[in-house]
Structure 1
Amino acid sequence: MTGGYALIVRFTTRDADAAARFDALVEHALEDIRKEQGTLVYVSHVPEDDPLVRVFYELYADEAAFQAHESQPHIREMLREREQYLLSTEVTFLGERAGKRPAAQEAP
């Protein structure tokens, strides 16, 4: 790994209403996530062919930044509340090989 700490999380929501409520929960948490120094990227995507799925890409400065993110009250609340909207959660941690980042975030 050349730099950063990344993961992809795939959430499958129960139905359209649960998806909307999950999105609102995430948007609420994003108000504080945007202030986290070590959280470089935190983006939710919807696959074009699967509107009940959310795929998150998360990039942190390092593993300590990820752990700091996970310990935040707004994340603890989101982790508790999200389960009522979900059928499944799949997490994949990623080891960086190469890439392009904004100049301030270039890997060493």
Structure 2
Amino acid sequence: MGFGLVVRFVARNVTAAQAFDALAEEALEGIRAKEPGTLVYVNHAVPDEPHVRVFYELYADREAFEEHERQPHVRRFLAERGQYLESFEVTFLAEISGKGASADQLTR
């Protein structure tokens, strides 16, 4: 069973949201290349709220999440994101049931 979370970020303004997106994209380059246990990591814009971003993250298990948090590209993102943000809220998720792609399908 996977391990997931949703993070809602509120940027200081639209310009800060765009800079935040660039920082997130830098982190995503490392995530794509170096994190097989990170199954889904997506930055979403919110319609009608141009300064809000929502991340959906799904990991193979808790250890994969902890490994993700130790990566230099993630550490940089975590250290620098605050300059763009008004606030953020993390919600950890526990799967009950659903439909999803297998880990093999997600990493292709």
Normalising by structure 1, we get a TM-score of 0.92
Q: CA RMSD in A?
A: 1.3
| SS at structure 2 position matched to 1:66 | helix
Q: Which residue of 2 aligns with 1:30?
A: 28
Q: Which residue of 1 aligns with 2:98?
A: 99
Q: Equivalents in 1 of 2:68, 2:15: separation in Å?
A: 27
Q: Which residue of 1 aligns with 2:62?
A: 63
Q: Equivalents in 2 of 1:6, 1:23: separation in Å?
A: 21
Matched, 1:12 2:5: no
Q: Which residue of 2 aligns with 1:74?
A: 73
Contiguous gaps of at least 5 residues in structure 1? none
Q: Equivalents in 1 of 2:81, 2:43: separation in Å?
A: 14
Contiguous gaps of at least 5 residues in structure 2? none
| SS at structure 1 position matched to 2:19 | helix
How much has 1:103 moved relative to structure 2?
3.7
Q: Which residue of 2 aligns with 1:50?
A: 49
